[in-house]
Every structure is written in structure tokens, then in C-alpha cells.
């Protein structure tokens, strides 16, 4: 069965410090991985997806199939990065189902 | 177009009552998803439509839950004989096919079952 694990419910870092939000998954095929973000009082929105290998708002994430991980990283955290972050998986790039982790609440301390 | 909309935004009901939620996706989006989210959890997949066809349904979805998308535009999610455990945020999302599966989420409907 597919599963997405985000081991940290809460994460606090100081402004300017590096940040890494962990995501591990279990899936036997070729998944498509995403990071979604929810800022305070806003709706869930896509931050980035592994297939496009892009950097959004300074965030990057690399799919490591050997370690079945898709950690989200940013070298210098900003206060506006404070939000809830969800890692999500879609099996076999079908877009038929999406499985979300439990989320990590990131707080950037000024 | 202002994005995915959901109505109502809040619903309080008594146990045993039926409730219906509506989702209006972005107009050209042919894929529509329903999720349930409880406190401290991520969105949990419930069901998926491609146009008017319901193609996927979670095994966790009770028979009391039913969803429709009759004309391939808006969708409704009905919960019959609500239970206190149904209290949650119900989210709708839509995707434009060919857009690398970027989901656009609605604001959600918060259901409270007393």
C-alpha cells in the first residue's frame, strides 16, 4: 500500500538558517511526488513537483528512489516560509489518486 | 474565474441527518477530487471524477457517502445518516488534464456533527 511519512509535525528554524522538511514514501512502482503548502488562512497550493525539477521560492526537492525520500530544502529560511507543508504521492503518474502525509508545520523565527 | 469554490463553507448538523456539499471546479478542469481532512492529518483521498465518470473511490469510503458529477462540471458529496466521526474538513480539488497533475484546491467545507 502507498504511504507517505512526514516524521516531523513541528519544525522551528531561525530566519536565515537552512531548513529541511523530510518526506519518505513507500510505493513499489514509479511515483510522482509533490510538495503542497498551506499558508495561514489560505487554501492548499502546489509548491513544487519532482517531475519538473524546479525551484520555487528558493525551495528544492530531489527524489531519491534508493532512499524513497523526497525531502524539501531551502538554504536560507524566510519568515514568510512559515506554513504547513504536505508531501504527496500519486502512483504511476496516473493522477487518479493522491496520498498525502500528515504535514509539517514550519515556523521561521525572526 | 476565481478558482475552485465550495459551498457551504461551514455546516453544523445533528447526528443522523443527511448533508450535501457542492464543489465548483475551475471551468476547464476535467478532473475533480474529494478529500477529507481531520485535525492533525493530511488530506485523505475519497473519490475522483474524470468528467462525469467516477473512476476511483477509496475503500475507506463508507456506503453512507456518495458523490456525483452529473454534467462533468460541478460535483456534490452527500453523507447520509451522519455520525460524529464524519466531522472533518471536506476538500475539493480539480486538475486540468495535461497540466502535470497540479491540483487546485477549494477552501473546504467544515462539517460538525453534534
In angstroms, the CA A43 to CA A32 distance is: 22
Q: Do B101 and A101 touch (CB under 8 A)?
A: no
Confidence of residue A30 (pLDDT cuts 50, 70, 90): confident
Q: Do B95 and A95 touch (CB under 8 A)?
A: yes
Contact B62, B74 (CB under 8 A): no
Of the candidates A106, A84, A79, A105, which has an alpha carbon nearest to the alpha carbon of residue A15?
Answer: A79
- By C-alpha distance, the chain B residue nearest A92 is B101
> If 0-12 CB within 10 Å is exposed, 13-18 middle and 19+ buried, where does residue B54 land?
middle
| Confidence (pLDDT) at A62 | 87
Residue B44 C-alpha, separation from nearest chain A C-alpha, in angstroms: 7
| Confidence (pLDDT) at A70 | 95
In angstroms, the CA A64 to CA A66 distance is: 5
Q: A57-70 pLDDT, tens per residue?
A: 999 998 898 999 99
Residue B66: pLDDT over 80? yes
Residue B62: pLDDT over 90? no
- Looking at every residue in chain A, the average pLDDT score rounds to 92
Query: Partners of A22 in the beta sheet?
Result: none
Residue A103: pLDDT over 80? yes
Residue B98 C-alpha, separation from nearest chain A C-alpha, in angstroms: 10
In angstroms, the CA A41 to CA B88 distance is: 17
Chain B positions in Cβ-Cβ contact with residue A99 (cut-off 8 Å): 45
Residue A1: pLDDT over 80? no
Closest by Cβ to A32, choosing from B56, B101, B108: B101
Chain A positions in Cβ-Cβ contact with residue B40 (cut-off 8 Å): 9, 102
**Segment among A18-22, A29-33, B41-45, B103-107 with least mean pLDDT:** A29-33
Chain A positions in Cβ-Cβ contact with residue B41 (cut-off 8 Å): 102-103
Residue A52: pLDDT over 80? no
In angstroms, the CA B46 to CA B39 distance is: 17
Three-class secondary structure of residue A96 per DSSP? coil
Chain A positions in Cβ-Cβ contact with residue B43 (cut-off 8 Å): 44, 86, 98, 100
Provide the CB-side half-sphere exposure for B29 (13 A, CA).
28
In angstroms, the CA A64 to CA A78 distance is: 26
DSSP B25: -
**Segment among A25-29, A33-37, B110-114 with least mean pLDDT:** A25-29
Residue A104 C-alpha, separation from nearest chain B C-alpha, in angstroms: 10
In angstroms, the CA A50 to CA A32 distance is: 7
Amino acid at each position: 500500500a502507498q504511504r507517505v511519512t512526514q516524521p516531523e509535525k513541528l519544525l522551528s528554524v531561525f530566519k536565515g538558517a537552512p531548513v529541511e522538511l523530510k518526506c519518505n514514501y513507500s510505493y513499489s512502482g514509479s511515483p510522482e511526488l509533490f510538495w503542497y503548502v498551506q499558508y495561514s488562512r489560505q487554501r492548499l497550493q502546489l509548491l513544487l513537483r519532482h517531475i519538473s525539477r524546479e525551484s520555487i521560492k528558493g525551495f528544492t526537492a530531489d527524489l531519491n528512489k534508493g532512499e524513497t525520500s523526497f525531502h524539501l530544502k531551502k538554504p536560507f529560511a524566510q519568515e514568510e516560509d512559515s506554513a504547513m507543508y504536505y508531501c504527496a504521492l500519486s502512483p504511476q503518474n496516473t493522477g487518479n489518486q493522491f496520498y498525502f502525509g500528515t504535514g509539517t508545520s514550519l515556523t521561521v523565527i525572526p | 474565474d476565481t478558482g475552485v469554490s465550495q459551498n457551504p463553507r461551514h455546516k453544523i448538523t445533528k447526528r443522523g441527518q443527511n448533508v450535501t456539499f457542492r464543489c465548483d471546479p475551475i471551468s476547464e478542469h476535467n478532473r475533480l477530487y474529494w478529500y477529507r481532512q481531520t485535525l492533525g492529518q493530511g488530506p485523505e483521498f475519497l473519490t475522483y471524477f474524470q468528467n462525469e465518470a467516477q473512476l476511483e473511490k477509496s475503500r475507506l469510503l463508507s456506503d453512507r457517502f456518495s458523490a456525483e458529477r452529473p454534467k462533468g462540471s460541478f460535483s456534490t458529496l452527500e453523507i447520509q445518516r451522519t455520525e460524529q466521526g464524519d466531522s472533518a474538513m471536506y476538500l475539493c480539488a480539480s486538475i486540468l488534464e495535461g497540466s502535470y497533475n497540479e491540483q487546485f484546491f477549494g477552501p473546504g467545507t467544515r462539517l460538525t456533527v453534534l
